Amino acid sequence: MVLKIQNRADFLGRFLSPINKLSESVVLKVSDKKYTAITSSSDGTLIVYCTYKQNNELDDNISLNIPDISKLIKVLSCISTDSIELNFNNNNIEYKSPNVSFKYHLLEDGIIEVPAVNITKIKNIDFNFRFTVTTNTINQLIKGSTFTTDTNKIYFNTKDGKVYGSLTDNQRHNVDSYSQEVSDSFAGEPLASDLALSFENIRMISGIRFDKLNVLVNPELNVFLFDIDLDDIKINIISSGYIN
């Protein structure tokens, strides 16, 4: 059975890499229209769901139980062509060309735990506060975090129709802080209080190449949905905020 990947660079850098930031292993679901993958942090407070559009001639959906995502990324990086075809042989995937060949063994079903998360249900939450962030803004926040080394939190607040992000810790004294505008507009009511989130979410997002990041928030449930749409790739990062 042949599995196609039309853009190797995007498949590795924008599809597999975000998953690899949370987990060493993953179950890739393959259908005739797309690849999908979902993983979560050990405490379940952070979820990453990725889809990669790709037509494959499959009669039934299959699962690729990837034991080491990093190793798969490394071996696929050895291929020079951007469009590739992999042979699926039940317990392994194989690649052959005049220049490069490899065989990557898969695990049996049931060994890798798949998060019991209903993505559709999460997306149906009423995210009544929304704003958009650019790559430059994320990079500026990362630079600011090199100054605020005593905290790993970011607080979002609104003022004069804009959204601001502050790196600090409101529950501790004498902590260095850094603040900046993260969006010049937002949809919904102004925030009644600061929304706190682990800055690890921002670090993860900073490793993804994108132009625009949509941030959707339900302040009452304290749930964040970071949505990245890259044409053939869609990335959803769902996180629970801190309780102030």
Average pLDDT, rounded, for the chain = 94
Is residue 38 within a helix (H) or strand (E), and if so which, with residue range?
strand 34-40
Residue 228: helix, strand or coil by DSSP?
strand
Domain boundary (114, 145, 180) is at: 114
Residue 101: helix, strand or coil by DSSP?
strand
Residue 198 has pLDDT above 90, yes or no: yes
Helices (H) and strands (E) in the chain, counts: 6, 16
Whether 91 and 131 map to the same domain: the answer is: no
* Cα 28 → chain centroid: 15
CA distance 41 to 15: 17
| pLDDT score for 24 | 94
208 pLDDT band (50/70/90 cuts)? Answer: confident
Domain boundary (50, 84, 114) is at: 114
Whether 97 and 131 map to the same domain: the answer is: no
Quick: pLDDT tens for 86-139. 999 989 999 999 999 999 999 999 999 998 888 999 999 999 999 999 999 999
| pLDDT score for 34 | 97
Residue 40 has pLDDT above 80, yes or no: yes
Whether 103 and 133 map to the same domain: the answer is: no
244 pLDDT band (50/70/90 cuts)? Answer: low
Whether 131 and 167 map to the same domain: the answer is: yes
Q: In which order are the strands placed within the sheet that holds 162-167?
A: 178-183, 162-167, 153-159, 195-198
Place of tokens 């696929």: 76
Whether 105 and 150 map to the same domain: the answer is: no
For residue 132, give the CATH number of its domain: 3.10.150.10
| Percentage of the residues of the chain whose pLDDT score is greater than 90 | 84
Residue 163 has pLDDT above 80, yes or no: yes
Whether 141 and 189 map to the same domain: the answer is: yes
The boundaries of the domain holding residue 216 are 123-240
Whether 172 and 81 map to the same domain: the answer is: no
Residue 224 has pLDDT above 90, yes or no: yes
| Percentage of the residues of the chain whose pLDDT score is greater than 70 | 100
Whether 88 and 175 map to the same domain: the answer is: no
Q: Model's pTM, two decimal places?
A: 0.91
Count up the domains in the chain and report the number.
Answer: 2
Whether 103 and 186 map to the same domain: the answer is: no
Domain boundary (114, 144, 168) is at: 114
- Furthest CA-CA distance within the chain: 63
